[in-house]
């Protein structure tokens, strides 16, 4: 879904071996670095750290601003290059022997490929576990651990376990926020009894059609199975054709395939673009009353919609609190490190601390995964609520399809769930699950 352009934003005067115009900003003048917390007292001014990632435009500008405290305190130059073709270009650069010092991976599965090739630095060699546990919840450290090494550090997060609803209509109808899955299902049935359609669901997304469905399955699986099952599932050690994953599909079907539960019925699910699906909340009266989607979806709301006034959200309730008290599905950027130099170590230490996200947090629309990020930095109540959901997660897990190999997570999982829904009930669920299993590389 990212636009295939290259945006290079440079925060210092430096030449980086890549194409595209650059914006330059001088680092702070040299000074006494004896007590500098990030350089261990070394004078590293004038050195450069290169970072490559997928985010561009305003996100890249906000990232650059978030690096300013480090640049001013250390004199180290930080160069960020963003590209919509990140996934292919990072492979070319690493395999070609010219990797960036760091790379921001929106899909940890791709980082895992480089970990498997022995091309990523183990951050356990740089930071103690006590330090890492001080900076991150254990769930984040677990997700960064690949093949026994600490493959990177997290710098941005977003929340997926959300349900959006129209505030005024909801209050006029007297509906309460459900706190359990049973209450969510009872609320859905009550809405139907009242002549309302509970859900708006759309999974069309051009070549990525189906990813919305994979998010539903991941969210549900986290709520019904031990987290170890989820972790084994995303690595291919637990099959799709299993009781747990099958049950997740069945629970999803209790909403998706239930008569009168989804606006437009089953036929609309595959045909409605994911970005248009929330529009059903904003008709008068609402065409649908609930929409499950991540924290990024307000970008697709009609102009003038005010969050907290016209629309709000609640946490997608747990199913079995004995298994998962408050599971949260999310996503984010993990930074893998490819080169070991003092200035790279210094920047990595800075970026494992909440202060490295402050400018971005204060700009809004950004959630820091760091323990020491201050809730007072968040500019709105909505941003703080996103942060609190992540902070209180038990457990938090990354989008599973983004952790799986590309042929599965961005291939058969998308296409098979789309085919299953599009042809329901004529496609057996077991066949769908077996087809995904068969697509796993090496099988």
162-326+405-438 CATH: 3.40.190.10
Tokens of 117: 């090739």
**pLDDT in the model for residue 231:** 94
d(CA 430, CA 443): 18
Provide the 3-class DSSP secondary structure of residue 229: helix
User: In the predicted model, is pLDDT for residue 254 greater than 70?
Assistant: yes
Percent share of the chain, pLDDT over 70 = 93
Has residue 18 got a pLDDT over 80? no
Give the whole-angstrom CA distance, residue 324 versus residue 194: 32
Q: What is the mean pLDDT of residues 379-393?
A: 93
Residue corresponding to tokens 């709301």: 301
One fold for 6-159+332-391 and 162-326+405-438: yes
Torsion angle defined by CA atoms of residues 337, 395, 148 and 438, in that order, rounded to the nearest 10 degrees:
-100
Q: Is the pLDDT of residue 17 over 60?
A: no
In this predicted structure, the answer to whether residue 228 has a pLDDT above a threshold of 50 is yes
- What proportions of the chain, in percent to the nearest 5, are helix, strand and coil? 45, 15, 40
Give the C-alpha separation, 94 to 112, whole Å. Answer: 13
Confidence tier at 87 by pLDDT (50, 70, 90)? confident
What's residue 4's pLDDT? 38
CATH of domain 6-159+332-391: 3.40.190.10
C-alpha–C-alpha distance, residues 105 and 334, integer Å: 5
Q: What is the pLDDT of residues 203-212, one digit of tens each?
A: 999 988 999 9
DSSP string, 309-344: TTEEEEEPPPS-TTT-SB-EEEEEEEEEE----HHH
Kindly indicate the confidence band of residue 29, based on its pLDDT and cuts at 50, 70 and 90.
Answer: low
Q: Average pLDDT, stretch 240-247?
A: 99
In 84-123 the beta strands, taken as DSSP E runs, fall at 102-105
Give pLDDT, residue 12: 39
Q: Is 222 exposed, middle or buried (0-12, 13-18, 19+ CB in 10 A)?
A: buried
Domain ranges across the chain: 6-159+332-391, 162-326+405-438
Q: What average pLDDT score do residues 308-315 get?
A: 97
pLDDT above 90 covers a percentage of the chain that reads 84
User: What number is the average pLDDT over the span 50-65?
Assistant: 94
- Residue 330 CA to residue 390 CA, distance in Å, equals 8
């Amino acid at each position: 879904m990212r636009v295939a352009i290259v945006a290079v934003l440079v925060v210092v005067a430096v030449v980086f071996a890549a194409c595209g115009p650059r914006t330059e900003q001088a680092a702070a003048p040299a000074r006494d670095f004896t007590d500098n917390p990030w350089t261990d007292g070394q004078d590293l001014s004038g050195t450069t750290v290169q970072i490559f990632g997928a985010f561009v435009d305003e996100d890249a500008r906000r990232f650059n601003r978030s690096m300013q405290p480090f640049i001013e305190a250390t004199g180290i130059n930080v160069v960020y290059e963003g590209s919509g073709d990140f996934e292919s270009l990072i492979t070319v650069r690493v395999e070609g022997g010219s990797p960036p010092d760091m790379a921001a991976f929106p899909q940890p599965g791709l980082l895992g490929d480089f970990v498997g090739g022995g091309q990523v630095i183990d951050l356990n060699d740089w930071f103690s576990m006590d330090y890492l546990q001080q900076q991150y919840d254990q769930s984040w450290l677990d997700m960064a651990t690949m093949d026994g090494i600490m493959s990177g550090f997290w710098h941005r997060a977003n929340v997926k376990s959300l349900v959006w609803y129209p505030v005024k209509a909801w209050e006029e109808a007297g509906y309460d926020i459900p706190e359990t899955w049973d209450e969510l299902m009872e609320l859905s049935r009550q809405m139907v009894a009242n002549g309302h359609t509970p859900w708006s669901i759309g999974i069309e997304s051009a070549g990525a059609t189906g990813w919305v469905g994979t998010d539903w399955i991941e969210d549900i699986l986290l709520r019904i199975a031990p987290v170890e099952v989820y972790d084994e599932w995303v690595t291919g050690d637990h099959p799709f054709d299993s009781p747990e994953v099958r049950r997740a599909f069945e629970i999803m079907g209790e909403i998706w395939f239930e008569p009168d539960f989804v606006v437009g019925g089953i036929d609309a699910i595959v045909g409605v673009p994911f970005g248009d699906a929330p529009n059903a909340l904003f008709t008068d009266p609402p065409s649908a009353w609930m929409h499950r989607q991540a924290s990024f979806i307000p970008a697709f709301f009609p102009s003038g919609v005010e969050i907290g006034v016209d629309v709000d959200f609640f946490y997608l309730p747990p199913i079995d609190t004995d298994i998962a008290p408050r599971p949260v599905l999310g996503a984010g950027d993990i930074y893998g490190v490819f080169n070991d130099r003092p200035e790279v170590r210094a920047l990595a230490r800075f970026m494992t601390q909440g202060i490295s996200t402050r400018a971005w947090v204060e700009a809004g629309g950004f959630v820091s995964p760091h323990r020491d990020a201050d809730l007072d930095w968040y500019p709105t109540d909505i941003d703080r609520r996103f942060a609190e959901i992540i902070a209180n997660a038990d457990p938090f897990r990354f989008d599973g399809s983004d952790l799986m190999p590309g042929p599965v997570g961005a291939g058969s999982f998308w296409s098979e769930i789309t085919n299953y829904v599009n042809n329901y009930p004529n496609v057996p669920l077991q066949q769908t699950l077996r087809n995904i299993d068969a697509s796993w590389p090496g099988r």
